[in-house]
Amino acid sequence: MHPPQTPPAINLEQSPDYREGYANSVQIRASLWDFFLMFGTLRQSSPDKVSILNFQGIYFSPQQAKALLNILQQNIQQYEATFGEIRLEPQGGASLIQ
């Protein structure tokens, strides 16, 4: 029988090219091997024109995509328990998540 292992200490660091940004648009593509998320900023310049400026694309393994889904679900549940239900607009016209 093996003694219980303690998890390793995790050290978070930012690489020299680390950056943060605001995204209100995410496009998702999936293949057999990975998921691709492209983040951007949606701008509506008139009632009939929407522009999306994409600024970052990130590939995830299916396992990391599922882990992201799980942690997002947990955080959204905690957020809604604190601040109330997040309501989404009806899906018509431009979508924030595609």
pLDDT along the chain (98 residues), means of 10: 83 92 95 96 92 95 97 97 91 50
pLDDT at 53: 95
- Does any domain span residue 9? no
Where in the sequence is the domain holding 53, given as residue range(s)? 25-83
Residue 43, beta-bridge partner list:
51
CA 37 to CA 28: how far, in whole Å?
5
Q: Quote the pLDDT of residue 93.
A: 45
**What CA–CA distance (Å, rounded) separates 35 from 18?**
21
Please tell me the total count of domains within the chain. 1
pLDDT of residue 1: 66
Beta bridge partners of 56: 39
Q: Quick check: is 1 in a domain?
A: no
Structural domain contains residue 55: yes
Residue 45 in any domain: the answer is: yes
Q: What is the pLDDT of residue 76?
A: 97
- Cβ-defined contacts of 53-60 (< 8 Å, 24+): 54/25, 54/27, 55/21, 55/23, 56/21, 56/23, 59/34, 59/35, 60/34, 60/35, 60/36
In a domain, 13, yes or no: no
